[in-house]
Amino acid sequence: MEYVSQDTVWAASKDGQLFKSTDAGFSWEVFQQLPNNMTDFQFFNSNEAYALSGYDKFSKTYNGWETWETIELSYAESFREFDFLDMSKGIGIDFSDILKTSDGGSSWISVFNDFSKIDFFNSGNGWLIDRNLPGKMLHSSDAGHSWEDYNAGNIGNISDLSFISQSTGFAISDSSELLKTVNGGSTWDIVPIPLDSMFYSNIEFLDENVGFVVTNNSRFARTIDGGQSWNTYVFDTVNFLRSSFFFDESNGWVTGSNGLCAQTNDGGLSWDIQTIDTYYLTDIVFLDTDKGFMVSYYGELYQTNDGGVNWEFIKAFDTEMIEIVFADNQNGWLVGKYKIYHTENGGTDWDLEFEPGIPGSTTKISSLTMISPDTAWFCAETGEVYTYGLQTSISVNEQKTEPLLFPNPTSNTLNISYNFGRDNKTLNIFSMDGKMILTKEIAPWSNLVPIDVSGVKKGIYVLKIKGQKGVYKWIKQ
């Protein structure tokens, strides 16, 4: 039930019946039949309103429900509740994310960044792939302190990118487009790729002409003319390929599902296939022609000292392993989804370098890049960028500069969307006369905190994060 004036009140039933009262609720009329299973609605005035039916039908009106438009939501946009600032801007909560719209609900994107790949080619300039920015990349020219959206003119969403020098870089999209820059990303040329994959697991270029691509439908492709033509090979014994490592245009390795690790000496025309007893191998790297490492989804580390003829199991780490990166033959990083390990002696010893794994943490590491043994960046699916050897962590979630409180007003639960960072935080709620009525301890790396305010009396309150400036008003109804 919602009041839009002193006398006009609206109410809805779960079967979609919309009721209207013009005498402050003393009498009611069945005003309209909306889609069934009404779960939430919001009025701005007597004419403009939104309604949510079930989890997948979103309706809006501009004439007091005389007529309305219904938008079918996708599975990824199935809402439990929503809150609008006006008829254009609003947010919706689904079962695993918070989405926002700026066009009245016609399109929705996550309020959180979802970084899948980071690459720096010097200490100042870097690029990010954000899955929640369709068709775009993010670019930083100040060592990651700020980021700008960049669209190179591509149609598809960027899957992977790689810079081979300060000027030359490549990226690939899920619409089979190869993007190439020779001026540090100021401009990009787009070359169509004759491949039938919709997802490219890895792109690797050795120079401006020689490059390799592996895909999620077990395709390997090589170009020696900058992407103008490609030779392909299909691995019919595995579901997907995950990574590649090449010494030159002829000699290299790929890894994939079912424990596949395969070596070629003719640029991918033929392969010597081995299998390791594991689910799938996520990355491979060689320090020289003899010494190499592989990591697996289950956190296993393998090593060879004879050019891949034999692989020895070294250790199992307690995190999913994403990639292994070396700056030289001594300094390297093991990148797990929840932990990062560092070696300074060529992989003989691995020390835990980063672990956000505190109860309540949602940080999921996705990619690491390094330009020297003591300078590295890594990014997380939860929208953070971290630096090693430069400064402290940097968050780039656009809406995280101050907390987002919703729904506001609320009757039962107040959600706080904010990047709370690496330290414990305390939330305090005060009444307007300055009395603290509620406090809540927040675990590090939290992004979304629900607070039960069902026992709080109706009124206006403020929320404050202890030790930080700023207070934020909310209303209990």
Of the candidates 84, 86, 108, 106, the one whose C-alpha atom is nearest the C-alpha of residue 97 is 108
Q: What is the pLDDT of residues 229-272, one digit of tens each?
A: 899 898 987 778 999 999 999 999 999 999 999 999 999 999 99
Residue with token string 């040329």:
189
Q: What is the pLDDT of residues 187-200, one digit of tens each?
A: 889 887 777 656 78
Q: What is the pLDDT of residues 382-400, one digit of tens each?
A: 777 887 764 334 444 433 4
Contact 41, 32 (CB under 8 A): no
* Least confident window among 78-82, 309-313, 342-346: 78-82
CATH number of 402-476: 2.60.40.3080
Residue with token string 């039908």:
57
Q: Which pTM does this prediction carry?
A: 0.66
Distances (CA, A) of 129 to 126, 349, 445: 11, 31, 21
Cα–Cα dist 18/135, whole Å: 40
| CATH architecture assigned to 115-395 | 7 Propeller (2.130)
Q: CATH 2.60.40.3080: which residues of the chain?
A: 402-476
Q: What is the pLDDT of residues 201-240, one digit of tens each?
A: 889 999 999 999 998 888 899 999 988 889 989 898 777 8
Q: Which pLDDT value is given to residue 394?
A: 41
Cα–Cα dist 127/142, whole Å: 11
DSSP structural state of residue 257: B
Query: What confidence category does residue 315 fall into, taking pLDDT thresholds of 50, 70 and 90?
Result: very high
CATH number of 2-110: 2.130.10.10
End-to-end CA distance of the chain: 11
Cα–Cα dist 208/225, whole Å: 8
Q: CATH 2.130.10.10: which residues of the chain?
A: 2-110, 115-395
Classify 405 as helix, strand or coil: strand
Query: In sequence order, what are the beta bridge partners of 118?
Result: 128
**pLDDT higher than threshold 70 for residue 6:** yes
